[in-house]
Structure 1
C-alpha cells in the first residue's frame, strides 16, 4: 500500500535501482547518517519541510512513477509542488469546468455548496464540544444565522464575506474548546501565536492533500469556483479544503492540544511571529496522517473508506456535476 513520507531534516534524494535513497547531510553538505532505502512502489507523495537535494534525473524518476512532492518554508507556508505530467486531463472536462466558472449562476451555485458544506461541518464541531460542557451556544446560534444567508447570495465576493464572518465567529470559539491557549485574532503571514500557527500549518497540509487527490482525477486544479483563479496557485484545492478543514485540521488541533500531545515548548517566538518547532511539526503531522487514514462506513458505498479517500470521492462528485451527470452535494459529517 502506498503512503506519504514527510521529510523534516536535510536530505539528499537519489535513485538506487528501483528504490529511493534518502541520505541525510549536515550544513557542510557531508553525509550525516546512514542511508535509508524505500521501494518506489510504496511511495504516494513527499512532504518536504527541510532542505532537499535532488537532481533532474531524480525528478524524472518521481514523475515516471506519479509521485508528487509538496514543499513548505520555515513558517510552514506551502510554497509549491512537483507533479508528474497530467495523465488524466480530458478536454471535455476542462471545457465543462471552464463553463461553470464563466457562467455566473453556475459558479455561484457551486461556491454556495462549498460554504454550505464548510458551515455544516463547522457547526458539527461546535455542537460536539457544546454537548461536552463547553458553552458554545452563542457561537452556534450566530453561525446558524450566517448559514441561512448562503442561498440568498448572488455574487462570489458576497459569499466570501459570509464565509469570513463564519470563520471569525468559529475561531473565536477556539478559546473555549482548547485549554491553555488563546486565539486572539486570526493572523497568517506570519502567525502571531500558537493557535494561529497550528491553523496555518494544518490548512496548508489540507490544501496539499486536496491538491494531491485532484491530480488523480480529470479536474483541472487551476479552475475554481469559490476562490478566484490566479497565477501560480491551484485554487480548486482551496475550494475543496473549505469543506475538509473542520474535519481534518481543526479536529486534529483540538486533539493535540487538549491531549497535550503538543506543548507550549513545541513553539518558538521571534520578532517575526510564532513558529512550530520540529518536535511540534512531527507530532502534528503524525496526528494529521492518522486522521487521513481513519475510516468511516460510507452510507452510499456501504463500505469503510478513509478520510483521504473521502476527498477523492468529493472530486468525483464535482466532476459529475460539471459534466451534467449528477448535482453536486457537499460532504457533510453524518456521525
Structure 2
C-alpha cells in the first residue's frame, strides 16, 4: 500500500534518476516514488519544474501548508481517471436541486450518526453524555424533513454546537478547555487541533478522490463556486467525528500532546512542529486501522473507506444505486 510523505524541515525536494530526494540540514533522503501516494509540505521547500513533471507522471498529489497550519493549496496532477460521462452526471446531479438535497442530506446524516457513535463510545466510559446524545438524536430526527441546503447546514451547525459542549466531558483536562469554535485564527488549543485535523482530512479526501472518476470541483453540500475543490469537504463531513475527533481525544487523553506542544503567535494558538508530527503519527495510525466491511473478504482500512465512499457516491450519481453513508460500529 502506498504511503503519504510529510515534510516539516526546510530544504529541497527534487527528482534523482527515477526516485524522489529530499535534501535538508540532515543531509539527503531518498524515497522510492512507487511508495508515495501524496506529499504534505509544512516547511520551506524548494521544487522545480522537472520535479513537478515527475510527480505528475507518477500521479502524486502535493499539499502545501503554511506556518499557521493553514492549507495553502494542492498540486493536483493531470486527471487520469476522469470520465466525461461521470462529470456530466455529477453536473446533472448538482443542477437537479432535489437530487442535490438528497446527496447533501446523506452526508450530514452520516456525519450526525458518526457523532452519535463517538458520544456513545465515551458514554460507555462514564463520560455522562446522555443529555447530548438525546439532544442530537432529536435534531437527527428533523434532518429528513429538510428540503433546502441551507436548512440542512443549519441542522448540522446546531448538532455541532451540542457536540462541542461534550468535549470538556470527554477530555476532562484543564489545559484543553473548549469554549466555542474559532477558526482563523484558532483561539485555543482545542480549536488549533480541530483546524489542523480537519485540514489534514480535507487533503486526504482530495487525494482519494483523485484515484476515482469523480471531479472534486463539483460538490453538493458545499456549493460549487469559485472554491477550487468542494466535494472533498462534503465527503470529509462523514469522517470528521471518527477520524479527526477520535484522534484529538486520543492524543490528549493519552498525554501524547500537551500544552508544551503549542506556540502562541499574533493571537493565534498553533501546534509546534513536534506537536504536528505527534498528531500526524496518531492520525495515520487511525487511518491504517482496519475493520470488517460488508461484502468484502478482507478487512478494510479507514483510509480505504474514504475511497469506497467515493465509489458509492459515484454509483448513486451514475446508476441511481442507493447511497448509504458509512456509519462506524464499535
TM-score class, shorter-chain normalisation, is over 0.9
Q: Which residue of 1 aligns with 2:238?
A: 243
1:50 paired residue among 37, 43, 49: 43
Runs of 4+ in 1 over 6 A off after TM superposition: none
Q: Which residue of 1 aligns with 2:138?
A: 145
- Take 2:209 and 2:28, find their aligned partners in 1: how far apart are those partners? 33
Q: Which residue of 2 aligns with 1:327?
A: 322
How many residues are paired up? 328
**Secondary structure at the residue paired with 2:144?**
helix
**Secondary structure at the residue paired with 2:319?**
coil
- Take 1:113 and 1:187, find their aligned partners in 2: how far apart are those partners? 26
- Take 1:215 and 1:145, find their aligned partners in 2: how far apart are those partners? 36
Moved more, 320-329 or 149-158: 320-329
- Take 1:302 and 1:287, find their aligned partners in 2: how far apart are those partners? 27
- Matched ranges for 1:300-319 at <5 A: 300-319=295-314
1:85 paired residue among 78, 85, 89: 78
Q: Which residue of 1 aligns with 2:88?
A: 95
Post-superposition shift, 1:199?
0.4
* CA root-mean-square deviation: 1.0
Matched, 1:34 2:27: yes
Q: Which residue of 2 aligns with 1:258?
A: 253
Matched, 1:171 2:147: no
Q: What 5-or-longer segments of structure 1 have no aligned partner?
A: 25-31
- Take 1:53 and 1:232, find their aligned partners in 2: how far apart are those partners? 26
Matched, 1:13 2:6: no
Post-superposition shift, 1:69?
0.5
Post-superposition shift, 1:39?
1.2
Matched, 1:225 2:220: yes
Query: Any idea what the Cα deviations from partners look like across 1:117-169, whole Å, max 9, x if unmatched?
Result: 00000000001111111111111111111100110001001111111111111
1:112 paired residue among 85, 101, 105: 105
- Take 2:76 and 2:132, find their aligned partners in 1: how far apart are those partners? 41
Matched, 1:272 2:236: no
- Take 1:123 and 1:188, find their aligned partners in 2: how far apart are those partners? 23
- Take 1:23 and 1:74, find their aligned partners in 2: how far apart are those partners? 20
- Take 1:132 and 1:235, find their aligned partners in 2: how far apart are those partners? 36
Post-superposition shift, 1:270?
3.0
- Take 1:302 and 1:107, find their aligned partners in 2: how far apart are those partners? 33
2:150 paired residue among 128, 152, 157: 157
TM-score (norm 2): 0.97
Q: Which residue of 2 aligns with 1:27?
A: none
- Take 1:114 and 1:208, find their aligned partners in 2: how far apart are those partners? 18
1:59 paired residue among 52, 74, 92: 52
Conserved in 1, the CA contact under 8 Å of 2:117 and 2:329?
A: no
Query: Any idea what the Cα deviations from partners look like across 1:172-195, whole Å, max 9, x if unmatched?
Result: 110110122111110000100000
Post-superposition shift, 1:102?
0.8
- Take 2:35 and 2:223, find their aligned partners in 1: how far apart are those partners? 36
